[in-house]
């Protein structure tokens, strides 16, 4: 019986990108369904009644919510190819720690950079750079966060790359100047088909942010 895989997503979402990349990495055929977050569809409300958020992965009718949970689910359900998580429990714990770090510490400041002004925006920029430097230190001289193979932490982080351009413009800073190794890592990831297919062009995001601000009522 063929698997039915549906992804409810929103094109600029760095979280949705994680799931897209994971599915592409495993060569899983999926039905991508663009959602209107300002007019939520019945299927979104039915499949994620708790949070009403994207991405939602629906596998043979059963929903899996939360992007990193989806990435792990995909890895466990379709074990072929390169596993996203190493088999050693300690290395797995390291990877999950950094995934959690990205969610807790990296995402928040980005909202301040594009969404706030003045002191708040400056504080967001400062914090974002600090967090990126921690990530860069963790990356070190490795090809990917997991070492030689593209995996969980790379997937967790790469979606932010297409947002770098707009963040730099809003915050008036250069990520490459602050974190050159991280940019080099991102460019390596972009060479992967799964990533190139899943991330929108930076300039699309840059054009989109002012429209988003209007829609959510920030000047």
Query: Which residues would be at the binding site for other proteins (CB under 8 A)?
Result: 50, 59, 62, 64-66, 69-70, 72-73, 76-77, 89-90, 92-93, 96-97, 100-101, 105, 134
3-state secondary structure of 108: helix
Please state the closest distance from residue 121 (CB atom) to other proteins, in A: 22
Nearer to other proteins, 34 or 76 (CB): 76
Please state the closest distance from residue 62 (CB atom) to other proteins, in A: 6
Tell me the helices (H) and strands (E) count for the chain, helix number first: 12, 4
Asked if 160 and 106 count as a contact pair (C-beta separation under 8 A), the reply is yes
3-state secondary structure of 31: strand
Q: Which of these, 202, 27, 216, lies nearest to 116 by C-alpha position?
A: 216
Distance between CA atoms of residues 96 and 85, nearest Å: 9
Nearer to other proteins, 76 or 193 (CB): 76
Please state the closest distance from residue 108 (CB atom) to other proteins, in A: 13
Please state the closest distance from residue 65 (CB atom) to other proteins, in A: 6
Nearer to other proteins, 102 or 166 (CB): 102
Nearer to other proteins, 66 or 168 (CB): 66
Please state the closest distance from residue 157 (CB atom) to other proteins, in A: 16
Nearer to other proteins, 92 or 192 (CB): 92
User: 190-198: which pairs have CB atoms within 8 A and are 24 or more residues apart?
Assistant: 190/158, 190/161, 192/25, 192/150, 193/24, 194/20, 194/21, 194/24, 194/25, 195/21, 195/24, 195/158, 197/20, 197/24, 198/17, 198/20, 198/21, 198/24, 198/159
């Amino acid at each position: 019986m063929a698997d039915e895989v549906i992804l409810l997503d929103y094109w600029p979402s760095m979280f949705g990108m994680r799931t897209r990349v994971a599915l592409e990495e495993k060569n899983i055929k999926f039905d991508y369904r663009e959602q209107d977050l300002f007019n939520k569809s019945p299927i979104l409300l039915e499949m994620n009644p708790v949070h009403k958020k994207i991405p939602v992965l629906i596998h043979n009718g059963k929903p899996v919510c939360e992007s990193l949970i989806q990435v792990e689910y995909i890895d466990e359900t379709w074990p072929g190819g390169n596993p996203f998580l190493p088999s050693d429990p300690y290395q797995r714990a390291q990877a999950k720690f950094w995934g959690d770090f990205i969610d807790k510490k990296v995402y928040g400041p980005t909202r301040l950079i594009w969404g706030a002004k003045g002191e708040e925006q400056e504080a967001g920029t400062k914090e974002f750079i600090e967090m990126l430097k921690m990530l860069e230190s963790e990356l070190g001289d490795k090809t990917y966060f997991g070492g030689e193979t593209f995996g969980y932490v790379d997937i967790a982080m790469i979606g932010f790359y297409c947002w770098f351009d707009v963040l730099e413009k809003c915050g008036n800073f250069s990520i490459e100047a602050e974190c050159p190794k991280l940019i080099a890592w991102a460019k390596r990831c972009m060479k992967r088909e799964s990533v190139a297919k899943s991330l929108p062009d930076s300039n699309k995001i840059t054009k989109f942010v002012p429209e988003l601000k209007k829609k959510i009522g920030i000047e």
